[in-house]
Amino acid sequence: MPRDTTPTMTSVEGSSDEALLARYASGDGEAARLLVDRLAPRIHRLALRLLQDRAEAEDVTQEALLRLWRIAPRWVAGGAQPSTWLHRVAVNLATDRLRRRRGVGLDTIDEPDDPAPSVVDTMIEGQRLRALDDALALLPERQRVAVVLRHLEGMTNPEIAASMGLGVEAVESLTARGKRRLTELLMGRREELGYRG
Amino acid sequence: MTGEHEKSADSGLEALFAEARQAPPSPLDAAFRTRLIEDAARLAQASRIRRPGLWSRLFARLADPQRAPGVAGVAAAGVAGLWIGLSGPGMTGELITQVWQGVAPAAAWSGDETAVFTQSGSDLLALLGDEEP
């Protein structure tokens, strides 16, 4: 009886992202499906938080993945992880879009005082993460980008500064102001969100 | 906001950030997911069409000395070896004769190269004696 050399679902699913990318480059369509399921939702969430526009977030996710597929045959094993690489590409694509939206650099327009009402009115009860996303959506754009990249994506201030085309001090200022505003927006629902004090 | 309240609010926000970092993202919209997978398949297909086969790539390299000078040199040496092998020992012997005789025409050689080695030492001495004045 001939031995079945086809990799089992389990062995493929247990592969690293890098191994899956190599499999994709050698023509394994299943590897692409697994990579999409592993990497795309996180990238899409990041893009959505930055851009606050579902269609644009999908465009960014799609473009970032297209770049990953294109580079797959030349991917250098042992370097950056595909997830890290994809994250960086997505951040750059999203911040480029934000710049184009404004028509000028992200650093050239003063942040207006945000006139939006408290997020309390629109928050779904008990859903803290939804409340956070709602509050983020109400932040001025640059503050939102800085807070998301610093506190939700774990990027360093110099990395954020490079992505946004700003100085490190400007990023620190934006992050601090963004956090203050978030606190104000979420303050009214502290007990509902499960935080006491 | 008092200092105490501010500290408490900060810790609450930090906790919320930590929770958000740990939370798994929502699954993709099914149609969007399908589109992403189709993109991957389309690019893989295009890549296979563009990529020539192994032999095509090998011959292309052999034909291009600028891209693979070492390989081109090996190929040239192989062709030369093949020619020598096919041309046989007779022609090789003639070639040696011509080289040894320098500019002298091959016709001036009275015997053949094998005759030299079949003569004994005394015959050779006799030949040398005949040449003395």
ipTM score of complex: 0.79
Q: Cα–chain-centroid distance for residue A137?
A: 14
Local confidence band at A151 (pLDDT 50, 70, 90 cut-offs): very high
For A99-103, what is the mean pLDDT? 80
Of A27, A44, A45, the CB nearest to B44: A27
Give B59 or B34, the one with higher predicted confidence.
B34
Q: Has residue B66 got a pLDDT over 90?
A: no
Give B94 or B127, the one with higher predicted confidence.
B94
Among A84, A103, A122, identify where a domain stops: A103
Phi, psi of B101 (to 5 degrees): -85, 0
Helices (H) and strands (E) in chain A, counts: 9, 0
Among A83, A103, A123, identify where a domain stops: A103
pLDDT at residue A124, as a whole number = 45
Of B8, B23, B35, the CB nearest to A197: B8
CB contact under 8 A, B20 and A152: yes
pLDDT at residue A197, as a whole number = 46
A-chain CB neighbours of B36 within 8 Å are: 36, 40, 61-62, 65
Q: What is the mean pLDDT of chain B?
A: 68
pLDDT at residue B30, as a whole number = 97
Which domain covers residue A26, as residue numbers? Answer: 15-103
pLDDT at residue B70, as a whole number = 59
Tokens, residue A117: 């009402």
Contact A76, A18 (CB under 8 A): no
Among A103, A122, A143, identify where a domain stops: A103
Residue A140 and residue A97 share a domain? no
Question: Could you tell me if A169 lies within 8 Å of chain B, comparing CB atoms?
Answer: no
We report the CATH number of the domain holding residue A143 as: 1.10.10.10
Q: Has residue A80 got a pLDDT over 50?
A: yes
Distance CA A57, CA B113 (A): 87
Residue A196 and residue A125 share a domain? yes
A-chain CB neighbours of B19 within 8 Å are: 128-129
Q: What is the tally of structural domains in chain A? A: 2
Domain membership of residue A112 (yes or no) is: yes
